[in-house]
Amino acid sequence: MSIGKVKLKLNYYSLDRFPFLNTVILKSRLAWSIRLRWLAVAGYFLATIVTEVFFEISLPYRQIWIVLFSLAFLNLIYQASLWIQKEFSFPAEIIILHIHIIIDLICLTLLIHYSGGIENPVYLFYIFHIVISSILFSKSSPFIIATLVVILFFSLVYLEYNGIIAHYCLYEISIHDSLLAVVLILIVFFITVYVTEYICTTFMRIYRDSKRIIDKQNKQLIEADKEKTRFFQFASHELKAPVIAIKSTLDGVTKSFAGSLDPKILDLLQRASKRSTQLLTILKELLELSQKRNIKTIMENEKIDINKILNDTIRNEKTSAEQKNITLNLDLNKNDITTCGRYEDFEKVFGNLINNAIRYSPNNSVINIKSEVNNHNFIFEIQDTGIGIPDNEIHKIFEEFYRAESAKKLVNFGTGLGLSLVKQIVENYSGKISVKSKVDRGSTFRVTIPIKTC
């Protein structure tokens, strides 16, 4: 065979033809079909014992068991090859699956032959193969397998009916006595085979087409999200420098000419400076968020002491809590917890959550902060008795710029970016963040991060 032809053949089995499958899925289906085969062999073996012992039907049991034994032996080889060869190429797996199905069909035909031929409704088991092949393969394969079933079963019945091979009678009266019965059974069975094949392949085609559309849309959404992040990064980066320049000019003017300026103008300039500080905060958080989104994996892996970071952050937030006479109730894990990551990331997570709890809590209230280690996970929980988050807004609080209405009323300025940043950092560490909240009762944020060794 020329190289061109080999390539053509391999292209036939390329992933494009089977886009809904991949080697991992195929391998799991191979393993599944092996388990199914063990069940089928054991089930058939038990059935022959029952027919021999309880119904005393005389069948060539030795031949049946030889076929079952051969099938079991083949299955053992399939199983061993799956254990030994951890990874098959996609075309190889497709070819192996085809071979398995063809051998199964031949074995089933032999079993039907030794157990009564057309008289044994076991021939309906062919349908399973049609369904399985329609699920596994696309285009012509299921049709070819359906035709193979028809050829095998027709040949068997033809050879038995004409006495070319033996017919093992199951009942006292043989179906072979009536040609009409034989023809009727064959016609109905063949129609069933092709209708099953048609229904299954049509259904699978619709499923594959829908999956293809969903995958495509998913890709477009991911691309749009990346584009948005790139835009955020570009805009915040470009805007930061002019805003810093405006702010330092305003600060310079208010400081240098404070005495000589009209109080109204001074007030206006100070307000403008405050606004530019807020704008700078937004830009910094936006830049940080887009950077964290771009670098999904943790780049700098340094050994960090989580307890130290948590204690440092709590110390930093103490002043804001004291200003509102809020008590920070601590229940922290005393043992050393070291993991891989960046000090700043953990500081951002703890800092944002503690700061939010303080900002959205009333004066003289209590905030409970708890940390623990469970199943190689570090867990941080913060519970406040603040304004809470309405049910219809809770799912939006991790979106960029989202601020609940009640939060806007209580705290004038907020970027709406803190929680997006926290969520992004936690996810970059393969962790999770969840929130439970009741309006006017308070909120509980819980962060779970797997502990890693460097």
Please state the closest distance from residue 277 (CB atom) to ligand ADP, in A: 14
Beta pairing, strands 338-341 & 302-305:
antiparallel
Q: 108 or 387, CB closer to ligand ADP?
A: 387
Does residue 419 belong to the site contacting ligand ADP (CB under 6 A)? yes
Does residue 288 belong to the site contacting ligand ADP (CB under 6 A)? no
Please state the closest distance from residue 326 (CB atom) to ligand ADP, in A: 12
What contacts 349, CB < 8 A, 6 or more positions away?
380, 422, 425, 426, 447
CA–CA dist 95, 107 (Å, integer): 18
Q: Contact, 387 vs 406, CB < 8 A?
A: yes
Does residue 447 belong to the site contacting ligand ADP (CB under 6 A)? no
Does residue 182 belong to the site contacting ligand ADP (CB under 6 A)? no
Work out the number of other CB atoms within 10 angstroms of the CB of residue 403. 17
Q: 360 or 378, CB closer to ligand ADP?
A: 360
Which residues from 325-344 bind ligand ADP, rule CB under 6 A? Answer: none
Q: 200 or 382, CB closer to ligand ADP?
A: 382
What contacts 376, CB < 8 A, 6 or more positions away?
450, 451
Please state the closest distance from residue 425 (CB atom) to ligand ADP, in A: 13
Q: 61 or 402, CB closer to ligand ADP?
A: 402
Which residues from 353-392 bind ligand ADP, rule CB under 6 A? Answer: 356-357, 360, 384, 386-389
What contacts 337, CB < 8 A, 6 or more positions away?
305, 306, 307, 373, 378, 451
CA–CA dist 118, 178 (Å, integer): 12
- SS3 for 380? strand
Please state the closest distance from residue 403 (CB atom) to ligand ADP, in A: 3
> In the stretch 392-411, what mask flags binding to ligand ADP with x, by CB under 6 A?
-----x----xxx--x----
Indicate the residue type of 245. Answer: A
Does residue 443 belong to the site contacting ligand ADP (CB under 6 A)? yes
Indicate the residue type of 3. Answer: I
Please state the closest distance from residue 329 (CB atom) to ligand ADP, in A: 15
Please state the closest distance from residue 18 (CB atom) to ligand ADP, in A: 44
Closest CA to 164 of 175, 173, 155, 172: 155
Does residue 142 belong to the site contacting ligand ADP (CB under 6 A)? no
Size of the site for ligand ADP (CB under 6 A): 22
Indicate the residue type of 240. Answer: K
CA–CA dist 156, 291 (Å, integer): 69
Residues shown for the chain:
454
Please state the closest distance from residue 250 (CB atom) to ligand ADP, in A: 23
- 57 phi-psi bin (left φ>0, alpha ψ -120 to 50, beta other): beta
Does residue 117 belong to the site contacting ligand ADP (CB under 6 A)? no
Please state the closest distance from residue 32 (CB atom) to ligand ADP, in A: 45
Task: List residues binding ligand ADP (CB under 6 A).
Answer: 352, 356-357, 360, 384, 386-389, 397, 402-404, 407, 414-420, 443
